Structure 1
Amino acid sequence: MLERIRDLGPVVLVPAAWAATAASVLGALGSDGMLIAHAVMVMFITFFAVTGWSAMSDGAFRAWRLVMVVGIPVTLAGLAGFFVPEFDRLLFSVSLVGWMVLPAGGLAYTGREVAPARRLYFLTAGLSALGAVVATGGLLAGEQGVLLVGIAFVGVGQTVGIADASYRDR
């Protein structure tokens, strides 16, 4: 059962996280909801890292283990933004852009390691990286629509990548 949760959980959690992020940008999910989302993300990422540590010691899994290890403090930065209001924008931005860039690297590395799906993973990495650039531009310009386009690119890229990885790992 634990292995099934580890395999299928990210397929649900990744698109849910980006949907929640978009909902927050649109004002449909308030700060309490995002605070809870960050706390839950820290718990899930830690759970996946700890329970899957030995299974992620080689191949493409090594990159994802690193993504999770670095992702925990990145997520904690976002969580800290709720408690350190004088740095909230910076901390939220670090968390947001961090979770756009980290998986882009993991997807690119996966493309190197998984030859049959190389193009798919490079494409999904590219979508995530492009989304990070677009979203950062939206953040810097204060343009909500541009930020949402970046989030959409990232959400699609990461969801397709994780869904394919889950399918291949069965």
Structure 2
Amino acid sequence: MLRRLRETGPVLLVPLAWVFATAAHLELLATRSVLVGHVVMSVLLFGFAVLSWGDMREHPVLRAWLAVIVLGFGVTLVGAYALATGRGAPLTTFAVFGWMLLPAVALGYTGRVLPREEGAWAYTLGGVLSGVGAVVFLSGVATLPALALAGVGQTVGIVTAVVEY
């Protein structure tokens, strides 16, 4: 059961994380709630990495995603630190940008490595959307569209992964 949850859980968690991030940017959530979200996400990422380490080291695509999880754990801790200490914008911007860029790179890599019949185009599309979202987010001109692009791109990727796997 735990293995099945690890295999399919991200299909709900990825879009939920982007809805949560969007709600935070709209200031619909208290800082404390966002901090708790970061702590919960850190625990989930750590647990996922530990439980999946052996399986994910066997295939180049899964190794890339293991790197996203491990690096994302660090990015999430930076965001939690920023929220807990009131350090604010530069570090929280880094955390959001990190979660846009890391999956964008891994999605692009996945689309390049996997055969077409395994949905390579969907991973590539997801990577492009998330990457464009990261650039738009960093420009600071359109935060909500940037969050939407990253969220949709990464959701396309994880849905494809769950369906194909």
**TM-score normalised per structure 2:** 0.94
Q: Structure 1 segments of 4 or more deviating over 6 A?
A: none
Q: For 2:36 and 2:85, how far apart are their aligned partners in 1?
A: 16
Give unpaired runs (5+ residues) of structure 1. none
Partner of 2:136: 134
- Give the residue type in structure 2 aligned to 1:97: F
Partner of 2:74: 73
Match of 2:146 among 137, 147, 150: 150
Shift of 1:59: 2.7
Q: Please give the root-mean-square deviation of Cα atoms over the aligned residues, in Å.
A: 1.0
Shift of 1:30: 1.5
Partner of 1:83: 84
Q: Aligned runs of 1:43-54 on 2, under 5 Å?
A: 43-54=43-54
- Give the residue type in structure 2 aligned to 1:23: A
Q: For 1:43 and 1:91, how far apart are their aligned partners in 2?
A: 20
Give unpaired runs (5+ residues) of structure 2. none
Q: Aligned runs of 1:15-164 on 2, under 5 Å?
A: 15-57=15-57, 58-85=59-86, 87-116=87-116, 117-138=119-140, 143=141, 146-164=142-160
Shift of 1:129: 0.2
For residues 23-67 of structure 1, what are the alpha-carbon distances to aligned partners after superposition, in whole Å with 9 as ceiling and x for unaligned?
Answer: 111111121110111001101111111111111111310100010
Q: Are the equivalent residues in 2 in contact too, given 1:80–1:88 (CA < 8 A)? A: no
The alignment-based identity, stated in percent, is 41
